[in-house]
């Protein structure tokens, strides 16, 4: 099996007594963030001032769990970006990468309560 630059896999499980549980793994491949900019050059050939900027590949894992409490009332829990990777951007000149920035998006947890009213 050949992997594509951006792919995701997910699994879902549900049962009548609990609720759906969903886990999603996502891989984001090499991504062009900004193309090279030039000085506009006037009469001479333009000179690149800023090279291409790429985001280096990374993966994430998200999980969502739902539980029906009573008829119409559902409790949900979600955890996003559990792998919490360092996300890096690089300047790329002629195939050579130079680190531009590194950051971490952090892990996001949420808890929800939903009540459904049918009309």
CB–CB of 56/10 below 8 Å? no
Which pLDDT belongs to residue 107? 97
Residues of the chain with pLDDT under 50: 1-17
Cβ neighbours of residue 44 under 8 Å, at least 6 residues apart? none
Which pLDDT belongs to residue 36? 81
Using alpha carbons only, give the angle 19, 14, 60 rounded to the nearest 5 degrees. Answer: 90
Q: What is the pTM of this model?
A: 0.63
67, two tokens: 């539980």
Using alpha carbons only, give the angle 61, 68, 116 rounded to the nearest 5 degrees. Answer: 105
Measured over the CA atoms of residue 105, residue 109, residue 113 and residue 114, the dihedral's sign is positive
**Distance between first and last Cα of the chain:** 48
Which pLDDT belongs to residue 35? 86
Q: Classify 3 in phi/psi space as left (phi over 0), alpha (psi -120 to 50) or beta.
A: beta
Cβ neighbours of residue 1 under 8 Å, at least 6 residues apart? none
Q: What is the pLDDT of residues 16-30, one digit of tens each?
A: 345 788 999 999 999
């Amino acid at each position: 099996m050949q992997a594509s630059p951006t792919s995701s896999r997910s699994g879902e499980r549900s049962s009548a007594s609990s609720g759906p549980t969903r886990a999603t793994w996502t891989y984001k491949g090499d991504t062009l963030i900004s193309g090279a900019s030039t000085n506009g050059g006037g009469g001479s050939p333009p000179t690149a001032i800023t090279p291409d900027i790429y985001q280096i590949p990374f993966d994430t894992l998200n999980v969502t769990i739902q539980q029906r409490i009573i008829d119409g009332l559902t409790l949900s829990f979600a955890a996003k970006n559990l792998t919490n990777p360092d996300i890096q951007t690089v300047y790329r000149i002629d195939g050579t990468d130079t680190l531009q920035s590194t950051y971490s998006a952090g892990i996001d947890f949420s808890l929800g309560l939903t009540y459904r009213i049918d009309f």
